[in-house]
Amino acid sequence: MTRIVIKKLRWQEWNAEHVQKHHVSVAEAEDAAKHLIAHKRGYKGRYIVIGRTGERILSIIVHREETGQYVVITARDADKKERRRVYEKEKY
């Protein structure tokens, strides 16, 4: 699997408002992207990146714009399957 390195998340007004509907702040999403634990390929060329911000585990759906720069589509709390994957990776 290819390793994703997020150097910068690109925000626009619409996606910043959208993540707040999921009770996620822009700062939390930025922090979770810096503490990336796992990722997987989504559809339409998107990636689901899973990271930790404090005690919270977030899933952030991003689309690659250019090397190291990704546009945020949405961010939400990780579901049970995604959290399990994080716990397994943190064991080792």
pLDDT at 91: 78
Which domain range does residue 53 map to? 8-91
Please count the structural domains in the chain.
Answer: 1
Q: What is the rounded average pLDDT for all residues in the chain?
A: 91
**Does the residue 70 lie in any domain?**
yes
Where residue 68 falls (left for φ over 0; alpha for ψ -120 to 50; beta otherwise) is left
Q: Classify residue 47: in a domain, yes or no.
A: yes
Q: What is the CATH number of the domain that holds 16?
A: 3.10.450.530
CA torsion through residues 16, 20, 24, 25, sign: positive
- pLDDT one-digit tens code per residue, 61-80: 999 998 889 999 999 999 99
